[in-house]
A and B are shown apart, each in its own frame.
Chain A
Amino acid sequence: MIVVDRITKTFSVSRQQRREMGPDFKGSRIDAVREISFTCRPGRIFTLLGPNGAGKTTMLRMIATMLKPTGGKISVAGFDTVDQPVEVRKRIGFLTGSTGLYDRLTPDEMIKYYADLYGMDAQTYGRRKEEIYGLLGINEFAGRRIGKLSSGMKQKVSLARTIIHNPDVVVFDEPTSALDVVTSRAIIQLIKRCREENKTVIFSTHRMGEVSLLSDDLAVIHRGKLIFNGAYAEFEKQMQTRSVEDEFVRLVEAD
């Protein structure tokens, strides 16, 4: 379970960033996330939907303890992200569309590296590795250097790395961006599988097809604020337009 309680995140703005933002921007700080609250429950997929720069990645990075909130509290699997970050990290798997791999390692070495960082014992690791390798079909290229693998193979290694420690909570930050249809499908299947395994899943996207395909709960974020938060079924019920995409655009433009 993830409980986000009135989270705010403020970044200081450098001189160069101020220049990039143009003359209209005044001040030295910017609110990336403002007073956001939501709850992600086990066995459900929580979708964070928003345009580029809305604050989705900042929100997910705070959940994954990479960033500290300026205000508010986040609890992941019962642990506070600021006070008990290591406990939180033990329980989450994190994957982004731009997640990289170590090209000079083999998939075996890469996944073992993360298993060691998660403190997995040899027996648990062996069992889990066998299960995931079988599921994703990694065995055939497990000993080859990652740099020599195709992008589809690499994505499978990324997925294996994300779930090797069998996390209770899985965070996907635009996991299918810049991926082809076949590879995207593998990720979507994994997200569904995580739900079947009663994990808490939060994923951010701006692909409307994925929203309707996967979401149990939905939050729409724009300029750091939540403009919708509820069950996906409820979102569909209150739609004033014909498609999810049109409704999303309507909400964003109305904000």
Chain B
Amino acid sequence: MNRFATIFRKEVTDTIRDRRTLFMMIVFPLLLVPALMIVVTNMQMSSMKKAEEKVLRVALVSHANAPGLVAALKARTDLRIAEGIPADSMEAMIACDSIDAGVVVAGDFDDAVAGMKSGTITLFYKSSDDFDMVKRRLSGVLNSYEKQIVAGRFAKLNIDAGIVNPVTLEEHDVASMKEKIGKTVGGMIPYLFVLFCFMGAMYPAIDLAAGEKERGTMETLLTAPVSRIQILLGKFAVVVLTGLLSAAVSILGIFLAVRQLSKIPPEVLSAVMTILDVKTVFLVLSLLLPLAVFFAAFLLSMSIYAKSYKEAQSMISPLTIVVILPAIIGMFPGIALDEVTAVIPVLNVVLATKEIIAGTIKTWLLLEVYASLLVLAGLSLFGCSRWFQREETIFRGV
């Protein structure tokens, strides 16, 4: 135990002096991720605002029909109406950005409307532009115009407008704000901390095994009166710790980013803050611990096998995808925690975390997740210790 503590202390000192590890463990999740979140969100909000406020250039061909619509369009200060552009050149003009949209009222529109039939108005737009804002803004004007016509028809026929709305739907959403956030944004939080748990553990694992082999310090360490299992556990504990710390720092980073975002409604912000209560954080960390053990055992096994730091890096880096994939699947709508998903590594943590954040986790499913994670952690640690005992592994390339 004493020697395990000696190895652990030394590895901690060595690791916290490694700039790469510090960057991946603290700087990246704590500063870069929130900075990226804030910058991206603010940029998105600002461009959305710009798209909303932009004066749209709209070509109008009315064929002297729909005077109400023409008047409504011309009355809008956020639209610049151009008449006299032929209808058949609108597509080309939108494509080359000469206009933003085109409205063509059919020649028989007024006759059709007067005859209680449906008149045609064609709207030309490019949906890939500015969050589909052009369509949304013009649809607003067109819908109001349609409502005017409908109201006129009802009045003419002396019919109550309620006749076409036989059902009045009153919606009562019983999901709390916390639950809604848990089910939607909740998927993003475990995705980030699972990823950072893996990435935070990656560099120490490479440095403490493959790095030691490459530097020639592993050979010396093996001649010290310490069992290989003590050496492994000392290194392993540091890798688990860095993975956990990195995940915890990433949660803190998200928290700080959310606080900095000025446009978040206060009720959403207050729900986000309740997510970070002691019980939720404890439950999430308790899920993360066996996952960090699995990551550490897995990463150390790969790193011990590698001949050099570089080889370990090239073996391990692509595996980030293997971790990201189930984490992304966990964000898909319709994928929920059940008896099957509770035993799929990484995915089970992501789904269970979503449920914990939403406050809807079922105890027996949580226990199944714990059981599967503990079995996985135990097996991976056992495998790693066996792997570390093998001469062929430890002296590969040394």
**Interface positions of A (Cβ within 8 A of B):** 11-12, 61, 64-68, 86-87, 89-90, 92, 94, 96, 98-105, 109, 113-114, 116-119, 161, 171
Question: B17: CB under 8 A from chain A?
Answer: yes
* Assembly CA distance A114 to B227 (angstroms): 14
Is the CB–CB distance between A104 and B395 below 8 Å?
Answer: no
* Assembly CA distance A37 to B37 (angstroms): 68
Residue on A nearest B227 in the bound complex, by CB: A86
Which of B46-54, B82-90, B213-221, B371-379 sits within the interface?
B213-221
* Assembly CA distance A105 to B226 (angstroms): 20
Of the candidates A66, A90, A104, the one whose C-beta lies within 8 Å of that of B14 is A104
Is the CB–CB distance between A104 and B17 below 8 Å?
Answer: yes
Residue on A nearest B391 in the bound complex, by CB: A67
Of the candidates A68, A92, A98, the one whose C-beta lies within 8 Å of that of B216 is A98
* Assembly CA distance A118 to B3 (angstroms): 9
Is the CB–CB distance between A64 and B225 below 8 Å?
Answer: no
Determine the main DSSP class of B at the interface with A: helix
Within 8 A of A (CB), among B192-231: 212, 214-217, 219-220, 222-227
Chain B min CB distance to A73 (Å): 18
Is the CB–CB distance between A100 and B216 below 8 Å?
Answer: yes
* Assembly CA distance A65 to B212 (angstroms): 18
Interface residues on B, range: 20 to 34
* Assembly CA distance A86 to B223 (angstroms): 9
Chain A residue numbers with a CB within 8 Å of B7 are 117
Given contacts A100-B215, A101-B215, A102-B217, whether A12 and B14 have CB atoms under 8 Å apart is no
Of the candidates A61, A67, A98, A114, the one whose C-beta lies within 8 Å of that of B224 is A114
Of the candidates A11, A99, A117, the one whose C-beta lies within 8 Å of that of B219 is A99
Chain A min CB distance to B263 (Å): 44
Of the candidates A11, A66, A104, A118, the one whose C-beta lies within 8 Å of that of B225 is A118
Given contacts A104-B13, A117-B225, A117-B226, 5 further A-B contacts (CB under 8 A): A67-B391, A86-B225, A101-B217, A109-B10, A109-B13
Chain A residue numbers with a CB within 8 Å of B17 are 104-105
Question: B78: CB under 8 A from chain A?
Answer: no
Residue on A nearest B3 in the bound complex, by CB: A117
Is the CB–CB distance between B225 and A119 below 8 Å?
Answer: yes
Chain A min CB distance to B66 (Å): 77
* Assembly CA distance A102 to B222 (angstroms): 15
Is the CB–CB distance between A67 and B395 below 8 Å?
Answer: yes
Of the candidates B212, B214, B227, B392, the one whose C-beta lies within 8 Å of that of A12 is B392
Is the CB–CB distance between B223 and A64 below 8 Å?
Answer: yes
Question: B6: CB under 8 A from chain A?
Answer: yes
Chain A min CB distance to B209 (Å): 14
Of the candidates A89, A92, A105, A113, the one whose C-beta lies within 8 Å of that of B6 is A113
Within 8 A of A (CB), among B302-320: none
Is the CB–CB distance between A161 and B220 below 8 Å?
Answer: yes
Given contacts A12-B392, A100-B215, whether A90 and B220 have CB atoms under 8 Å apart is no
Residue on B nearest A173 in the bound complex, by CB: B219
Chain A min CB distance to B104 (Å): 71
26 A-B residue pairs with Cβ-Cβ distance under 8 Å, sorted by A, are A64-B223, A66-B219, A67-B395, A86-B225, A87-B225, A89-B225, A89-B226, A92-B223, A94-B219, A96-B219, A99-B217, A100-B215, A100-B217, A101-B217, A102-B10, A102-B217, A104-B17, A105-B13, A105-B17, A109-B10, A113-B10, A116-B3, A117-B7, A117-B226, A118-B224, A161-B220
